[in-house]
């Protein structure tokens, strides 16, 4: 390894040489290439151009030294293409220190390209024990950057290792980042983590997380429990200075839900969807979520604000054709609850019949006027609006009211009084990418409608896939049902190919969105050929899926190892045994309520809506909206705050967007069973 210091006894011998160098430079003598610094630390105030020039002028062992410094500068300057080219040109013969630097730079480059698996592999080639103090700090920072939500315990170890080297604001920032990583560990996994016997600091952090999970519902209990933890772990850095996120939870004031303004389009084509959401919200408020049918809601407990009659030409919440035709109940259909009777009932917020709900028709007045009216009439929190345009107007209106928006506007912004909750296809696509990646799939193709819905799904899936370390995602368009039937009749089949997903989603092609769910008709689009794939994600209704899977099998053979996945659009009531056997092996996502988490509530609600799963999902959204409204403060202020809901595991993410982790089911031997 190159020496990092110079012998003081010989320092005087170098003075004449240095002076001579300056004199020669001043006299215009051609400057030879300089000797690189003893260690691979960038020279102050020098950019990549300087290092590249020195590299070009060097022809001995120092050339690699300058090249590594140049690559580091290029990465810092964002010149990624040049950095990648220089990395490829690095010689294979490097000194020990240069090899370490090469691994660091390759890791940094891989992170910049979102190739997180490659980044982790580069770091794994290094021995931490063989690194000096400066290199170790760099190693841990790169480990954190490459984790991207994976391996939280290893990331915690990295933050713990960095803590002694931090001071002042950096120390508090490190503590806060440690806490933010800590709370990404689900509560049911805290007790299953295995650590080394000598990891006392890590053990303290994990115990603090357990204290937080056990007491976060009661501020007084949480404060006492944290004080007790501080007594037990006096040497933990968090014992001396609490993470800001935890301190905030201990001192936050809970938002009142005594009077809730519910903003929904109660007139026009979208009224049927709003009614389902409103019913779910009211049933949760009244505690009518038992096995028996809910009691009739007292009309006096819901106050309808006076509204003008909505115009017949007002913007429709959804096209009339989007309303699913109720399917006849099929009592022979096997559902996940048959194998999941012990599933935990979702954590719906407690009933509060004293809470007053005032419902405002968003088709009646401008949104800013409704918000002003709601505040004047005593509202403490707003749930809604439902339509994207109305949400965009609501969040930009000057108001002190907390807003739980029931959709996500295209230009989503972070506002301190706003959270966003939607049943969006983007959420399902992200969840599918996570699920498929966890099952070891690495080469997916997406079969999607060639419209705005397909564009949104493709973009969301691909972003999530690549954030996990995945590479190319292929997309193929699904034709109409008549086109699919023609393929069946001609024995054409569907080849698993497609074009790489690269573009951002295109503008809306006439699709209508309610609560994040989009209803749009698919159309055909040509695709390019591609190589082998190991998985296919299909977004299609049940009738189309009944044609698509056999068409794929016709092309790839029944013995193929390609795994099939679908989103909830294909999950509808009335699927008979022929369909279930045809779908053998296919996995599909859906909300927990329709996946067996609460069988009695599912029976109650699907019966109420004549087996219409679309309205059932919106009802579940209303139930979860009640829960989220009652936990608005921790959702808004605590990173990673989670709740078990009827539409999924609900987690507050960036900008307080509520992400839903869905349930996954599989067709197996003619039955629907939960995926482990």
- The pLDDT tens digits of the residues spanning 421-460 come to 999 999 999 999 999 999 999 999 999 999 999 999 999 9
Structure confidence at residue 36 (pLDDT) = 54
Structure-token pair, residue 186: 């689900």
CATH topology of domain 425-590: Rossmann fold (3.40.50)
Residues in the chain: 676
Q: Which residues, listed in sequence order, are joined to residue 650 by a DSSP beta bridge?
A: 643, 660
Question: If pLDDT is split at 50, 70 and 90, which confidence band does 45 have?
Answer: low
Structure confidence at residue 337 (pLDDT) = 42
Question: If pLDDT is split at 50, 70 and 90, which confidence band does 188 have?
Answer: confident
Nearest Cα to Cα of residue 568 among 431, 388, 669: 431
Q: Which residues of 572-605 are buried (b: 16+ CB within 10 A; e: fewer)?
A: bbebeeebbebbeebbbbbbbbbbbbbbebbebb
Q: What helix, strand, coil percent values describe the chain, rounded to 5?
A: 45, 10, 40
The highest-level CATH class for domain 259-308+324-420 is alpha beta
Q: Kindly tell me if the per-residue pLDDT of 510 is higher than 90.
A: no
Helical spans, DSSP H, in 93-150: 96-112, 116-124, 133-147
The model's pLDDT over 129-148, given as tens digits with 9 standing for 90+, comes to: 999 999 999 999 999 999 87
Q: Kindly tell me if the per-residue pLDDT of 199 is higher than 50.
A: yes
Residue with tokens 């899936």: 461
Helix 200-215 to helix 219-232 angle, to the nearest 10 degrees? 160
CB–CB of 503/463 below 8 Å? no
The model's pLDDT over 560-573, given as tens digits with 9 standing for 90+, comes to: 999 999 999 999 99
CA 470 to chain centre: 15
Q: How many other C-beta atoms can be found within 10 angstroms of the C-beta atom of residue 547?
A: 20
Structure confidence at residue 180 (pLDDT) = 87
Ordered by start, the domain boundaries in the chain are: 259-308+324-420, 425-590
Residue with tokens 């009244």: 286
Structure confidence at residue 325 (pLDDT) = 33
Q: How far is CA 275 from CA 309, 320, 321, 359, 518, in A?
A: 17, 15, 17, 11, 18
Percentage with pLDDT > 90 across the chain: 62
Q: DSSP 3-state assignment of 607?
A: helix
Burial of 508 (0-12, 13-18, 19+ CB in 10 A): middle
CB–CB of 632/381 below 8 Å? yes
Q: How far is CA 381 from CA 417, 458, 641, 660, in A?
A: 10, 35, 19, 22
Q: Which of 33-47, 77-91, 381-395, 464-478 shows the lowest per-residue confidence on average (mean pLDDT)?
A: 33-47
Q: Which residues, listed in sequence order, are joined to residue 419 by a DSSP beta bridge?
A: 404
Whole-angstrom Cα distance, residue 449 to residue 48?
47
Q: How many other C-beta atoms can be found within 10 angstroms of the C-beta atom of residue 465?
A: 27
Asked whether this chain's domains 259-308+324-420 and 425-590 adopt the same fold, the reply is yes
Q: Kindly tell me if the per-residue pLDDT of 520 is higher than 90.
A: no
The model's pLDDT over 212-252, given as tens digits with 9 standing for 90+, comes to: 988 887 788 999 999 999 999 999 999 999 998 888 788 77
Query: Per residue, what are the HEC states of 427-475?
Result: HHHHHHHHHHHHCCCCCEEEEEECCHHHHHHHHHHHHHHHHCCCCCCEE
Question: Strand 381-383 relative to strand 302-304: parallel, antiparallel, unpaired?
Answer: unpaired
CB–CB of 146/114 below 8 Å? no
Q: Kindly tell me if the per-residue pLDDT of 505 is higher than 50.
A: no
Arithmetic mean of pLDDT, 318-330: 34
* Average pLDDT value over all residues in the chain: 82
Q: Which residues of 219-250 are buried (b: 16+ CB within 10 A; e: fewer)?
A: eeebeebbeebbeebeebbbbeebbebbeebb
């Amino acid at each position: 390894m190159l020496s990092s210091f110079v012998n003081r006894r010989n320092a005087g011998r170098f003075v004449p040489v240095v002076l001579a160098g300056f004199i020669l430079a001043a006299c215009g003598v051609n400057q030879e290439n300089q000797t690189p610094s003893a260690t691979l630390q960038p020279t102050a105030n020098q950019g990549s151009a300087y290092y590249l020039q020195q590299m070009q002028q060097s022809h001995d062992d120092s050339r690699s030294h300058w090249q590594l410094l140049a690559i580091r500068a290029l990465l810092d300057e964002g010149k990624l293409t040049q950095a990648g080219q220089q990395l490829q040109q690095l010689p294979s013969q490097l000194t020990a220190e240069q090899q370490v630097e090469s691994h660091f730079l390759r890791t940094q480059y891989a992170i910049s390209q979102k190739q997180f698996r490659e980044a982790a592999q580069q770091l794994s080639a290094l021995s931490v024990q063989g690194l000096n103090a400066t290199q170790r700090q760099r190693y841990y920072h790169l480990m954190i950057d490459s984790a991207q939500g994976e391996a939280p315990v290893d990331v915690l170890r990295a933050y713990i290792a960095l803590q002694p080297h931090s001071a002042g604001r950096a120390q508090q920032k490190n503590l806060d980042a440690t806490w933010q990583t800590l709370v990404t560990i689900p509560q049911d996994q805290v007790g299953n983590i295995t650590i080394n016997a000598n990891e006392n600091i890590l053990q303290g952090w994990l115990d603090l997380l357990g204290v937080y999970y056990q007491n976060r519902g009661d501020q007084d209990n949480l404060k006492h429990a944290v004080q007790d933890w501080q007594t037990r772990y006096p040497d933990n850095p968090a014992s001396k200075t609490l993470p800001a996120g935890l301190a905030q939870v201990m001192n936050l004031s809970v938002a009142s839900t005594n009077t809730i303004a519910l903003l929904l389009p109660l007139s026009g084509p979208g009224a049927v969807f709003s009614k389902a959401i409103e019913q779910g919200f009211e049933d949760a408020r009244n505690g009518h979520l038992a096995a028996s049918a809910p009691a009739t809601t007292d009309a006096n407990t819901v106050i309808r604000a006076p509204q003008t009659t909505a115009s017949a030409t007002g913007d429709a919440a959804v096209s009339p054709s989007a309303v699913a035709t109720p399917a006849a109940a099929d009592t022979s259909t096997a559902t996940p609850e048959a194998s999941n009777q012990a599933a935990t009932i979702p954590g719906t917020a407690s009933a509060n019949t004293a809470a007053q709900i005032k419902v405002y028709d968003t088709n009646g007045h401008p949104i800013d006027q409704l918000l002003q009216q709601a505040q004047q009439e005593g509202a403490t929190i707003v749930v809604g609006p439902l339509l994207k345009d109305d949400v965009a107007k609501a969040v930009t209106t000057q108001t002190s009211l907390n807003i739980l928006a029931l959709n996500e506007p295209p230009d989503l912004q972070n506002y301190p009084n706003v959270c966003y909750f939607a049943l969006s296809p983007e959420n399902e696509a992200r969840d599918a990418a996570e699920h498929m990646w966890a099952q070891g799939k690495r080469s997916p193709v997406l079969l999607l409608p060639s419209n705005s819905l397909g564009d949104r799904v493709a973009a969301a899936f691909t972003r999530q896939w690549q954030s996990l370390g995945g590479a190319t995602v292929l997309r193929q368009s699904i034709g109409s049902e008549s086109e699919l039937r023609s393929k069946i009749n001609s024995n054409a089949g569907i080849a698993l190919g497609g074009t790489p997903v690269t573009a951002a989603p295109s503008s809306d092609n006439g699709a209508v969105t309610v609560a994040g769910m989009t209803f749009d008709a698919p159309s055909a689009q040509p695709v390019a050929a591609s190589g082998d794939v190991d998985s296919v994600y299909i977004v299609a209704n049940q009738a189309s899926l009944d044609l698509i899977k056999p068409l794929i099998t016709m092309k790839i053979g029944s013995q193929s190892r390609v795994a099939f996945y679908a989103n909830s659009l294909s999950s509808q009531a009335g699927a008979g045994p022929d369909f279930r056997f045809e779908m053998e092996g296919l996995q599909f996502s859906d909300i927990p309520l329709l996946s067996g988490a609460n069988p009695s509530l599912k029976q109650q609600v699907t019966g109420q809506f004549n087996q219409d799963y679309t309205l059932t999902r919106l009802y579940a959204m209303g139930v979860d909206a009640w829960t989220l409204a009652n936990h608005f403060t921790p959702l808004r202020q605590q990173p990673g705050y989670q709740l078990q809901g009827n539409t999924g595991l609900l987690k507050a993410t960036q900008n307080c967007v509520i992400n839903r982790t869905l349930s996954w089911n599989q067709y197996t031997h003619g039955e629907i069973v939960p995926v482990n």
